[in-house]
Structure 1
Amino acid sequence: MKRLIKASLLAALVAAPAMADEAFGGIGVTIYQIRNGVKVAEVIPNTPAADTKIQAGDVIIAVDGVSLKGQNIEFSKEQLRGQVNKPLEVTFVSGADTMSTVIRRAQITVKDLESEGVEAWYGDKTEFNAQELETYASAKSEKQLVAVLKHGQRVSEGTVNAAGLNGIYIEKADEFAPKAPSQNVAKVSSATLKGFSRKAVSFELKSAGPAIITIMNADGEQVATLRADNAQAGFNTLGWNSENVPSGRYMVTIEHNGTFSGKNAVLK
């Protein structure tokens, strides 16, 4: 049963069938649908999700405030996938804690590995180490190979036959805008956005300390950065100049005392 679930979730989210290549903006997790959301089966190394503390066994319950409870796998995929480099807020349950983190999607490509080329490079070897394959395939591609799939399941160690392989590729990290600091994103946020208008940004802090507010548009571009060096515990307000900022949907992130939170807000 576990093997069937694993194969189905890889085919549904990451591993697209071997008959065709697939490219999409994603965060780098394999999932399957459960009643309360989607359960993380694996976090693919060197992807945006791997830079957070999201781990196998966690349950993603909402994306950008949209609940995944009671939905199907196709709906959940649509929420997690999207425009490359665009930030999204992922709310997840890990153990007894409910946390949120802001992640930028990366370009992820799933494609067949050419068995003939792999076998030619390895000579007479019919089996080889998965790590060796990743090194070889990455060198042959503009993208970095971060995982090898065999019959829809990730090969993480040991050896694998050259036939019937797929690879999960990701664009090199330096081609993307900086991500949120990985040491911050997994902590329970100590800041909450309370208001967002053309004149001010209001937020509530659990404790005193510097707060940095970043406002990004739907394309992931930074519109403004506000700083409160002496923010106090409780309700705080910072004024800002939005004269040249168009109306629309924005991501407002708050960095405070080692935590990092984000929330979508509409500017009218």
Structure 2
Amino acid sequence: MATARGLFSYHPKCKKIGLTHLSFADDLLIFCKANVESVIEVIYVLDHFYELSGLNLNSAKKLSEKDCDPLIASIKARLTIWSVKKLSYAERLELIRAVLFNIVNYSGARVSLTKIYQQKSEGGLGLNNLKIWNKACMIKLIKNILARGGSLWVAWINSYVIRDSNLWQLVGNANYSWGLNRILKLRTEVTISILNGALSIKDIWQEIRVKEEKVPRHSLIWFPQHVPKHSMLAWMTTLDRLSTRDRLQRMGITTDGSCVLCNEAMETRNHMFFEFSIVYFYGTKF
């Protein structure tokens, strides 16, 4: 290692943990003391690496807003394709769960976000509330700091921020990052998950999320090998959130609330599923 051979000196905030560089896929961050000698030696080491590997580094620059335009355009194009296809609510739910990782502004169902975030066994759709999930992730970081393990970041925090003190005595500081100050504010909430033995982020999330009573009908809707479209329809039916004419009339979308099939009663959920008695058999009305 170049530092061990004295070719260049550690960055003042990296020496205690022996940090010289970080690699992320095809990106490389190098840390050294901010003097001319160390920079020259870093360049020398990189030049030697070029000769041995035949590889070379690209010129680095700060990302501008324009650099993110292709990514934003790609996301917008994907969303446009989805909207053009007029996906069903079941299809939108699956895309959000698998592709957009539980995006918070889900507008698929005509149900409040609070209800959507509830587990399926509690009458919801089982999507994660990202605000609660993010809190669970930060509490997990606090537990890692207390255990003095888990990552290079934890080692750095203990060596250069907490030092000879401890996390409970540490006071928020304007010089700290926003993330670290936010973590410090959550210290009072971490005791709950510690006492209950929550180890993983999912366990912590289960401890801090708002829980509702179990509903007996969920196994009839979300059973194994269910058809997503049918289950979504059944779920919205139990909540009375279908686009029946009585609801459309209350919202001012239509003026006629009568049933389109019998034209004799108000088109409500109960009428459509429990009271309607007209049956068609090979085109014949009974």
**TM-score between both structures, scaled by the size of structure 1:** 0.26
- Larger C-alpha radius of gyration, 1 or 2? 2
**TM-score between both structures, scaled by the size of structure 2:** 0.25
Question: When you count strand as a share of all residues, which structure comes out higher?
Answer: 1
Structure with more contact order per residue of length (Cα contacts < 8 Å, sep ≥ 6): 1
Question: When you count helix as a share of all residues, which structure comes out higher?
Answer: 2
